[in-house]
Amino acid sequence: MPRACMFDSIRTRHLPLFFAVAGLLLATLFLLFYRLVFQAIDLAFEQQNLASHASIIPNLQKSRQTLVRQARILHVSRGIRRQFAGETDLVILAQSLDVFARRWFERTKNPSIRGVSYLDARRNPIVGIDFQQDDQVVDLGQLADVVPETAAAMGPNVIRGSLTALPSGEMDVHIATLADSTMVLRTLFDINHRRTKALLGHVVVDQSLEDVIDWTGGIDRRLVVYDRQNRHLIYDSDDISRTGIALETGAPDLAQPLSSGASETSNEKHYSTRFDVDKESFLLTHEEVGDPPWDLVTTVRILTGPLEFQGTVLIVASIFFVSIGGLTIYVLVTRIRNRSEALEEANQIVSHHNQMLEQELRTAHDMQMRLMPTSDPKLAGYDIVGHCRPAEAVGGDFFQYFTPGEGRLLFGLADVTGHGMQAAIPTMVFSGLLNTQVEYTPEPQELMQRLNQSLHRVLEKRTFICFSIGELHSTTGTIRISNGGCPFPYHYRTRTGTVDEIDLSAIPLGVRAESAYGTTEITIEPGDVVVLCSDGIIEAANPEGELFGYDRTREVIRQAGKQSLSARQLIQRVLDDVERFAGDGKQEDDQTVVVLRAESSAAPAPSELSRN
């Protein structure tokens, strides 16, 4: 028998066995899938429970930690301890505690706190204050029939009436229902003698329950909060009256699954387990809060009984249709493979184009950097430095220096709308115009007028350029400055140690052809500093959305001037402070700074600003 025919015979003979094995494997896979479906249901409920915990725990921790910290003065204050230890007149004690508690509430301004009550060592009320009714005055004589032991007790009935029965404990937490049906989370702190530690009394702080535990469960969901240390219930959404009693007594249906779940996952912060009650299945999710030492337990009823039979029928039907689907899948996979190969070729083309684009961006970046000086100007008695930090590979900011001669120096800073490639081309156009116009019009005021008219003709309607320029006369120590749309230049005066903003208000270049631009002349003396910066410095934002702003910029310049930092050191200080303020946030705009610092004693005495 030929070799090929022998193999064909073997394949034909074992084909039924092959399909039987394949069918068995397929059925096994479906059964596994069936189990995974119900596991996925449990996982979905678990994630839902954990999501509920995630919305409750942060607020619970914050409110409880804040309360414990703020309420500390109510029970450890020396004044409170002295009054409890020494004052025998309960009326005077009640009035003093009332005043102390109200002043404390005014300082804390914690809106979740409903009231504060002080009790004696036997837990008889002395004074109760309801901060929602803080103007109510209670006649002390009316309370004798309510608390015979302490006729001096005072406070609105809505608070006092719920103080008649309190559970014991060094710091007991439970839920109380006030006379107006408001539910509060009540925390009781002991007041001990400072030296002997003897019990003197108690202070009770009531918080609005909904401000601490914000639970919006449904009919089939339940939330239980209990103290992990003494295992007593704090909150049970099924029955609020169970608060303050032992977990095993108040929620016996949860005690056993909690015990078994904790033993199986002893090192886990949270776990989930299934349990049955009266032929109904529930999923329990347990999670530790941490501080305070409480545990959250969420249960949800799972109605999967009818679904199990339907799932079995679905498996049988699915096995039948999978054989048909297999062929369809094979065809689809073949098509996908062909499309994937085509997509891979397209990806290679896109990758090649991306590499070309990156190379073009690097070239554009190099071209933009060449628009700015590569070295600082040398002028006796003055330190002049500029620096630009683009937000992207190509930016819209740049700065430049010009030396017309006769001891004069022009220094300018420009900020084109937008950044990236959007601003790169207008930046190069403006650089060329500026170089040309400076040769014919070195005066700042006329230069601004000419640049504005030229840019209005060549720029698009929604594109404009913020530009600030200064002209230094080293022989007279004066600077003439003109500004169009940039943040006001800063002038640090070493004589007074103050920083002034040079008020030059004008719209950016290129917006209106008829715009006028004035100049301001200042005189600087040794140690004075003039700073130009783009709005990328002022508008740098931190992750919370707060801007670096003018005040911080002014303060950085003042401190740097006071420390007599060089121009380059001052720029580095500004950029470091902005980067530190912004944190890990993305730099949204280009950041450019130009600094001129007078060093020579040849500069004349300062004079007032003058305007042209």
Tell me the pLDDT tens digit for each residue of 85-107. Answer: 888 888 899 999 999 999 999 99
Same domain, 119 and 183: yes
Same domain, 315 and 414: no
Better-scored residue on pLDDT, 324 or 510: 510
Q: Which of 138-142, 182-186, 417-421 has the highest mean pLDDT?
A: 182-186
Give the pLDDT band (50/70/90) at residue 472.
Answer: very high
Quote the percentage of the chain above a pLDDT of 90: 28
Range of the domain at 329: 304-340
Would you state the pLDDT for residue 210?
A: 87
Tell me, yes or no, whether 517 lies in a domain. yes
Instruction: Out of 164, 187, 212, pick the residue that ends a domain.
Output: 212
Q: Is the pLDDT of residue 12 over 60?
A: no
Mapping DSSP to helix (H, G, I), strand (E, B) and coil, where does residue 225 land?
strand
Number of domains in the chain: 3
Mapping DSSP to helix (H, G, I), strand (E, B) and coil, where does residue 215 land?
coil
Better-scored residue on pLDDT, 560 or 169: 560
Give the residue carrying structure tokens 């837990």.
Answer: 123
**Closest C-alpha among 222, 252, 284, 588 to residue 419:** 588
Better-scored residue on pLDDT, 38 or 416: 416
DSSP secondary structure letter of residue 560? H
Give the pLDDT band (50/70/90) at residue 552.
Answer: very high
Better-scored residue on pLDDT, 355 or 511: 511
Q: What is the mean pLDDT of residues 365-373?
A: 72
Q: Is the pLDDT of residue 44 over 80?
A: yes
DSSP assignments along 466-524, one per residue: EEEEEEEETTTTEEEEEEESSPPPEEEETTTTEEEE-----PPBTS-TT----EEEEE-
Tell me, yes or no, whether 24 lies in a domain. no
Same domain, 330 and 384: no
DSSP secondary structure letter of residue 8? H
Q: Is the pLDDT of residue 137 over 80?
A: no
Tell me, yes or no, whether 189 lies in a domain. yes
Q: Return the minimum-mean-pLDDT range out of 16-25, 410-419, 475-484, 496-505.
A: 16-25
| Residue 301 token pair | 């009823």
DSSP secondary structure letter of residue 232? B
Q: What is the CATH number of the domain that holds 163?
A: 3.30.450
Stated as kind and residue range, the H or E segment containing 436 is helix 421-440
Same domain, 335 and 421: no
Q: What is the mean pLDDT of residues 578-602?
A: 86
Same domain, 431 and 515: yes
| Residue 216 token pair | 């919006």
Same domain, 423 and 322: no
Instruction: Out of 285, 318, 340, pick the residue that ends a domain.
Output: 340
| Residue 197 token pair | 């530690």
Q: What is the mean pLDDT of residues 172-192?
A: 87
Give the pLDDT band (50/70/90) at residue 400.
Answer: very high
How many other CB atoms are there within 10 angstroms of residue 143's CB atom? Answer: 21
Q: Is the pLDDT of residue 81 over 60?
A: yes
Tell me, yes or no, whether 326 lies in a domain. yes
Same domain, 420 and 565: yes
Q: Are 151 and 125 in contact (CB under 8 A)?
A: no
Q: How far is CA 196 from CA 122, 192, 199, in A?
A: 18, 8, 9
| Residue 90 token pair | 């309960």
**Closest C-alpha among 367, 469, 511 to residue 428:** 367
Would you state the pLDDT for residue 140?
A: 37
Would you state the pLDDT for residue 273?
A: 86
Tell me, yes or no, whether 349 lies in a domain. no
Q: How far is CA 472 from CA 372, 407, 408, 527, 565, in A?
A: 19, 8, 5, 15, 20
| Residue 100 token pair | 């102390």
Instruction: Out of 340, 363, 385, pick the residue that ends a domain.
Output: 340
Would you state the pLDDT for residue 556?
A: 96
Same domain, 329 and 378: no
Q: Is the pLDDT of residue 561 over 90?
A: yes
**Closest C-alpha among 593, 554, 562 to residue 575:** 593
Q: What is the mean pLDDT of residues 219-224?
A: 87
Q: Is the pLDDT of residue 569 over 90?
A: yes
**Closest C-alpha among 358, 430, 374, 356 to residue 397:** 430
Same domain, 488 and 572: yes
Q: What is the mean pLDDT of residues 402-419?
A: 85
Residues in the chain: 612
Same domain, 332 and 382: no
**Closest C-alpha among 286, 183, 276, 301 to residue 231:** 286
pTM score of the predicted model:
0.45
Would you state the pLDDT for residue 612?
A: 38
Q: Are 140 and 152 in contact (CB under 8 A)?
A: yes
Q: Is the pLDDT of residue 167 over 90?
A: no
CA atoms in the 13 A half-sphere facing the CB of 505: 1
The mean pLDDT of the chain is 81
Q: Return the minimum-mean-pLDDT range out of 14-18, 38-42, 367-371.
A: 14-18
Q: What is the CATH number of the domain that holds 391?
A: 3.60.40.10
Better-scored residue on pLDDT, 311 or 497: 497
Q: What is the mean pLDDT of residues 300-315?
A: 69
Same domain, 403 and 330: no
Q: What is the mean pLDDT of residues 483-500?
A: 94
Q: Is the pLDDT of residue 180 over 90?
A: no
DSSP secondary structure letter of residue 217? -
Tell me, yes or no, whether 312 lies in a domain. yes
Q: Are 111 and 131 in contact (CB under 8 A)?
A: no
Tell me, yes or no, whether 402 lies in a domain. yes
Q: Which of 132-141, 201-210, 218-227, 366-375 has the highest mean pLDDT?
A: 201-210
Q: Are 509 and 436 in contact (CB under 8 A)?
A: no
Same domain, 456 and 592: yes
DSSP assignments along 566-588, one per residue: -HHHHHHHHHHHHHHHHTTS---
Mapping DSSP to helix (H, G, I), strand (E, B) and coil, where does residue 142 land?
helix
| Rounded Cα distance, 516 and 233, in Å | 76
**Closest C-alpha among 290, 231, 283, 278 to residue 255:** 231
Tell me, yes or no, whether 218 lies in a domain. no
Q: Is the pLDDT of residue 231 over 70?
A: yes
Q: Which of 269-273, 408-412, 428-432 has the highest mean pLDDT?
A: 408-412
